[in-house]
Amino acid sequence: MKVIEKYNDSLHNPFWKYQLGPETYEVKDTPLRVASIKEALGESTDFEFVTAQHYPERLISRLHPYHDYIRNTSASLANDEEEFYPDLFPGEGAGLKKKVHEPLWGGIWCTDAVTPIKKRTYEVARASAESALTGAEMIREGTERCVYALCRPSGHHAGPRVFGGYCYFNNAAVAAEFLLPSGTVAIVDIDYHHGNGTQEFFEEVKSVFTSSVHCDPSSEYPYFWGYAEETGKGQAAGTNHNEPLPKGAGKREYLASLDRILAKVRDFKPSYLIISAGFDTHRDDPIGGLGLDTADYPEIGAAFAALDLPTLILQEGGYNTSTLGECVRNFLTGFLDAHRNSR
């Protein structure tokens, strides 16, 4: 399996965030996440690392109205140590007539104070999206049946209006838009947190089926999205499906939810499958944690392989660097083994 990467992601390494009161919290989305994954995959001959290609900026900017804001804010910072956080979040109806791409206007474009911009953030976020585009092109052209893009920053919380939740550009949305001229797309998000940005991108697009199995948002980020009654809008009614689970839900409950999602994917009959693969579902994840163990991920990967679709797997969350690499390797190996056995 090709593993796509493109960056020195240590260039984007925020140190702290505002969350849950005046105290500061250390950011869990560190470059060690990528290092742990690369180390685990490097132990197997099943995986070949490939550098992502360069793509026109417009493939990203056309989907993200805040693209120029992120680029310009990154460029405005004095050095690699400086971090910029928005400090005012205007409500709906606020007067937004002036310089919306200047740093101080960040609250227009960002949902939270946990997604800072550093001098190299734009560069690294663009490279993450280009990793997704490279994988999408491989499965579209038929040179690969399944590709894993080692994306960091993640993307699934970035939407068509605002970014946030450690995410700057929505890698799944960029890849899906790239694939759509060649066929329909199904996106399945298996991160602990609901992929609210991805859902919002496509909730009125009938050629994309979106779905997510995640912790119940009534008690977990992103709180305002991810409920079972959200099923798509307008002409796309019925093309979104959410499976919220209680905290601590184990393998049996998780696989039952995934089975319901995959049945709907089969009914949709997509040309391509995108998996937003977060591994903060592991029981020991510091900011996630369903009841899954490292040994559960091969079965989850195999369930996706049974769909027998051209598949792009995108890295989303997963913050326990002691287990993350093994979780990713087990998921991908489960997918590959099932794919081989079906041939």
Give domain status of residue 60, yes or no. no
Give domain status of residue 196, yes or no. yes
Cα of first residue to Cα of last residue in the chain, in angstroms, is 16
How is residue 55 written in tokens?
């793509």
Give domain status of residue 155, yes or no. yes
Q: What is the pLDDT of residue 8?
A: 67
Helix, coil or strand: residue 187 = strand
Q: What is the DSSP string of 84-147?
A: E-----PPTT----S-TTSGGGGGGTBS-SS--EETTHHHHHHHHHHHHHHHHHHHHHTS-SEE
- Whole-angstrom distance, CA of residue 195 vs CA of residue 34: 20
Q: What is the pLDDT of residue 91?
A: 66
- Whole-angstrom distance, CA of residue 55 vs CA of residue 257: 36
Helix, coil or strand: residue 166 = coil
- Whole-angstrom distance, CA of residue 225 vs CA of residue 227: 6
Beta bridge mates, 16: 26
How is residue 171 written in tokens?
């890698």
What are the helix (H) ranges across the chain? 32-42, 58-61, 67-76, 121-141, 171-179, 196-202, 251-268, 297-305, 324-342
> If you search the block for the tokens 């919220």, which residue do you land on?
244
Looking at the structure of the chain, the number of domains it has is: 1
The two beta strands, 272-277 and 185-189, are: parallel
Compute φ and ψ for 15, nearest 5 degrees: -95, -35
Give domain status of residue 120, yes or no. no
Q: What is the pLDDT of residue 7?
A: 72
Neighbours of 61 (CB within 10 A): 16
Sign of the CA dihedral with 274 first, then 39, 164, and 138 last: negative
- Whole-angstrom distance, CA of residue 40 vs CA of residue 297: 14
Task: Indicate which CATH number applies to the domain containing 159.
Answer: 3.40.800.20
Compute φ and ψ for 210, nearest 5 degrees: -115, 145
Host domain of residue 337: 2-53+129-342
How is residue 108 written in tokens?
């227009």
- Whole-angstrom distance, CA of residue 171 vs CA of residue 259: 25
Helix, coil or strand: residue 325 = helix
pLDDT in tens, the chain (343 residues): 999 998 766 777 776 555 555 445 566 788 899 999 999 999 999 999 999 999 999 999 999 999 999 999 999 999 988 888 887 887 665 655 555 667 777 888 998 888 989 999 999 999 999 999 999 999 999 999 999 999 999 999 999 999 999 999 999 999 999 999 999 999 999 999 999 999 999 999 999 999 999 999 999 999 999 999 999 999 999 999 999 999 999 999 999 999 999 999 999 999 999 999 999 999 999 988 899 999 999 999 999 999 999 999 999 999 999 999 999 999 999 999 998 887 6
Q: What is the pLDDT of residue 20?
A: 52
- Whole-angstrom distance, CA of residue 240 vs CA of residue 234: 12
Give domain status of residue 71, yes or no. no
Give domain status of residue 93, yes or no. no
241 has catalytic annotation: no
Give domain status of residue 92, yes or no. no
Give domain status of residue 17, yes or no. yes
How is residue 93 written in tokens?
């109806």
- Whole-angstrom distance, CA of residue 64 vs CA of residue 62: 6
Question: Based on the number of CB atoms within 10 Å of its own CB, is 58 exposed (0-12), middle (13-18) or buried (19 or more)?
Answer: exposed
User: Which strand ranges, in their side-by-side order, compose the sheet holding 2-5?
Assistant: 48-51, 2-5, 146-149, 311-315, 272-277, 185-189, 208-215, 240-245
How is residue 32 written in tokens?
């060690």
Q: Which one from 157, 214, 282, 339 is the annotated catalytic residue?
A: 157
- Whole-angstrom distance, CA of residue 316 vs CA of residue 89: 26
**Which residue from 218, 52, 71 is spatially nearest to 138, judged by alpha carbons?**
52
